[in-house]
A and B are shown apart, each in its own frame.
Chain A
């Protein structure tokens, strides 16, 4: 799965640490998600989507291997 959280963060002018704090995870977690090293749970994905006021499909995308 891919995502454009990094882009969304830039649009909202947020650092990894800001985003992490707002949704209650560690900065490493945001870092791992942005690098596609970690697929967040549905709960966490929904929290991110709510924060950016976007539907999930505009933040997370399936890739060829999924």
Chain B
């Protein structure tokens, strides 16, 4: 099957490691909020100070910021992309279809969940929940793709 946007299979384990580390540290930081940022450093910020109002916005400035959250997000997103978009050991037309179906399924499920959230979660809590919604399309996709593969693997006759 011609799926040239996929990475070679050997990267899949790296993806799983990054993804797992990201998810675990993400869960930790959600449930056990840290007193202060573990890693402070100078970063380039292309948009800053939005909360102070449009006139106070700062553009392309070097600022001091904690990057713990950024590292967690990057590790989940990059790890997840690698897991989702590396070749399977045997990549064939069924895997291709399964991957596409899972992507469609994940997008639809994600927006159904979002509709429920828009209706029933309000004000600041909504923003809080939305930070999780950044990752759910990728997570739903990976879960479904792997679940269906496992199910077909377990039926030897």
Interface residues of A (CB under 8 A from B): 6, 15-16, 20, 24-29, 31-35, 37-38, 40-41, 43-44
Contact = CB atoms under 8 A, between A and B. Distances in A.
6 contacts: A16-B156, A26-B94, A27-B156, A28-B149, A28-B153, A44-B93
B97 interface: yes
B94 A29 contact: yes
B157 interface: yes
B93 A40 contact: yes
Interface of B: 88-90, 92-95, 97, 149, 152-153, 155-157
A32 B92 contact: no
B84 to A, nearest CB: 17
List the 5 shortest-distance A-B pairs measured between CB atoms, nearest first. A26-B90, A28-B152, A29-B94, A25-B92, A31-B152
Contacts of A43: 93
Contacts of B149: 28
B94 to A, nearest CB: 4
B153 A41 contact: no
A26 B88 contact: yes
B88 to A, nearest CB: 7
A51 B94 CA distance: 19
A41 B153 CA distance: 20
